[in-house]
Amino acid sequence: MGYIFNILLAVNQCYSLSKKPNILLIVADDLGWADVPWHDHTIYAPRIKELAETGVILNRSYVQQVCTPSRAALLTGMYPYHLGRQHRALKPLRAGGIPTGFKLLPEMLKESGYSTHMIGKWHLGFCAWEYTPTRRGFDSFYGTYLGVLDHFSHVRDKYDGYDFHRNEELLFSAKGKYSTELYTNEALSVISSRQNNSSKDPFFLYLPYQALHAPMQVPRRYADMVSKTVTNPARKVYLAMLAAVDESIGKIVDALKASNEYDNTLIIFTTDNGGSVSHLASNHPLRGTKGTLWEGGTRGVAFFAFPITS
Distance CA 35, CA 43 (A): 6
Rg (CA), the chain: 18
Of 67, 117, 154, 213, the active-site residue reads 67
198-229 as b/e: b if 16+ CB within 10 A: eeeebbbbbbbbbbbbbebbbeeebbebbeee
Q: Looking at this protein, which amino acid is placed at residue 26?
A: I
Of 123, 151, 165, 279, the active-site residue reads 123
123 has catalytic annotation? yes
The sign of the dihedral angle between the CA atoms of 137, 70, 9, 22 is negative
Beta bridge pairs of residue 143: 120, 165
How many CB atoms neighbour CB 3 within 10 A? 15
Distance CA 141, CA 146 (A): 14
127 has catalytic annotation? no
Active site residues: 67, 123
